[in-house]
């Protein structure tokens, strides 16, 4: 079955339905593992690479820069990075002044060994600043040729709508994508330890259904490995009950996931990613691994014709 690529309205972007995440690049993912996994991802038609200035304390972008320098294939990818993340020591401290945003981007461009970013994201929001501050900054970067398009990550729906309205008022394209916390298990999880992350709720779901020009691009797509750890059934894994996903509802959900695995002869990852195909709008989940076999397995979710009703829980 041929892979169906996803186009974002009012752009020239045509994206593979699974983004390759690189949060571990430059750290536990070696340069060779990164190159091997990207080569595998390319073989399946993949073209979306996601990173951020904050990932592995900047080492993710540096590792990708080394990869692009060696492979000389930067033009094959829709390259995503993000800036303006708060310091890890204080996640509520804003780093979204013009100087900080521009500095993050310049550092990213240098580390990635590229002249431009295809989609540049604000990694967080600062609600004390008007949305005009953020849209105007991104428009300056577009006009300077440093970014092609821009998006938001962990913005509330209220602020996204305000930004949409302001962009329209000045004749700007506005956000092309939104990265948020959204996966098969988040509906039934306990509160996550980082309260600066924004979850997809019913209202945001409705927004994306009505606004296809802003692509949904969720992270934590395989629930941080929670269901995989359940499947491993390792008695020495005493930390599993501490996971925010460890709830009675998600334990029940796991049984339904196993039934779908049997129905489709699909892997655990393929069912967990298949959840996104039931949405009423286009979704490109982000997935990262330093093992080729896991990348092959994850990309395989695109080969199934899942029934939307399978994922009504």
Question: What are the tens digits of pLDDT across the range 160-219?
Answer: 999 999 999 999 999 999 999 999 999 999 999 999 999 999 999 999 999 999 999 999
DSSP secondary structure string for all residues of the chain: -----EEPTTS--EE-SSEEE-TTBTTTB-HHHHHHHHHHHHHTT--EEE--TTGGGGHHHHHHHHHHHHH--GGGSEEEEEE-PPPTT-TTS---SHHHHHHHHHHHHHHHT-S-EEEEEESS--TTS-HHHHHHHHHHHHHTTSEEEEEEES--HHHHHHHHHHHHHTT----SEEE-B--TTGGGPPPPS-TTS-B--HHHHHHHHH-TTSEE--BSTTGGGHHHHHHHT-TT-TTGGGSTT-SHHHHHHHHHHHHHHHHHT--HHHHHHHGGGGSSS-B--EE--S-HHHHHHHHGGGG----GGGG--
Work out the pLDDT band at 2, boundaries 50, 70, 90.
low
**CA distances in angstroms from 205 to 100, 181, 211, 302, 306, listed in the order given:** 31, 12, 10, 22, 20
Question: Model-level pTM?
Answer: 0.97
Average pLDDT, the chain: 97
- In terms of Cα–Cα distance, which of 165, 54, 170, 42 is closest to 107? 54
Specify whether the CB–CB gap between 296 and 44 falls below 8 A: yes
List, in order of start, the domains of the chain with CATH numbers. Answer: 9-307 (3.20.20.100)
Encoding tokens for residue 141?
């970067």
Angle, CA 107 vertex, CA 140 and CA 222 arms, to 5°? 95
Specify whether the CB–CB gap between 129 and 84 falls below 8 A: no
CA dihedral over 4, 75, 114, 132, signed as positive or negative: negative
Q: Is the pLDDT of residue 39 over 90?
A: yes
Per-residue pLDDT, 16: 98
Per-residue pLDDT, 3: 75
Question: What are the tens digits of pLDDT across the range 59-76?
Answer: 999 999 999 999 999 999
Q: Which residues of 9-20 are buried (b: 16+ CB within 10 A; e: fewer)?
A: eebebebbbbbb
Question: What are the tens digits of pLDDT across the range 75-92?
Answer: 999 999 999 999 999 999
Q: What is the mean pLDDT of residues 266-281?
A: 98
Q: What is the mean pLDDT of residues 23-47?
A: 98
Question: What are the tens digits of pLDDT across the range 89-145?
Answer: 999 999 999 999 999 999 999 999 999 999 999 999 999 999 999 999 999 999 999
Q: Is the pLDDT of residue 1 over 70?
A: no
Give the contacts of 185 (CB within 8 A, at least 6 positions apart): 223, 226, 227, 245, 250, 253
């Amino acid at each position: 079955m041929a892979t169906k690529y996803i186009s974002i309205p009012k752009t020239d972007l045509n994206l593979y339905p699974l983004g390759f995440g690189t949060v571990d690049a430059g750290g536990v993912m070696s340069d060779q593992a990164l190159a091997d996994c990207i080569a595998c991802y390319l073989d399946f038609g993949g073209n979306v690479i996601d990173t951020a200035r904050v990932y592995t304390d900047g080492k993710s972008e540096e590792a990708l820069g080394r990869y692009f320098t060696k492979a000389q294939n930067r033009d094959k990818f829709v390259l995503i990075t993000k800036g303006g993340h708060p310091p890890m020591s204080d996640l509520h401290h804003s780093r979204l002044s013009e100087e900080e945003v521009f500095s993050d981007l310049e550092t990213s461009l240098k580390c990635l060994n590229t002249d431009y970013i295809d989609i540049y994201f604000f990694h967080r929001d600062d609600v004390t600043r008007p949305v005009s501050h953020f849209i105007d900054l991104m428009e300056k970067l577009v006009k300077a040729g440093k970014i092609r398009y821009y998006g938001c990550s962990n913005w509330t729906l209220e602020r996204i709508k305000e930004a949409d309205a302001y962009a329209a008022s000045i004749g700007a394209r506005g956000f092309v994508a939104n990265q948020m916390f959204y996966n098969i298990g988040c509906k039934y999880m306990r509160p996550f330890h980082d309260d600066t992350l924004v979850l997809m709720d019913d209202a945001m779901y409705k927004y994306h259904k009505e606004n296809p020009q802003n692509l949904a691009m969720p992270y934590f797509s395989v629930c941080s490995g929670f269901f995989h750890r359940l499947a491993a059934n390792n008695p020495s894994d005493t930390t599993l009950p501490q996971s925010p996903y460890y709830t009675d509802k998600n334990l029940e959900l796991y049984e339904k996931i196993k039934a779908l695995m049997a129905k489709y002869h699909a892997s655990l990852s393929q069912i967990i990613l298949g959840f996104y195909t039931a949405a009423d709008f286009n979704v490109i989940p982000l997935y990262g691994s330093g093992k080729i076999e896991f990348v092959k397995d994850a990309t395989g979710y695109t080969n199934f014709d899942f029934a939307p009703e399978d994922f009504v829980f």
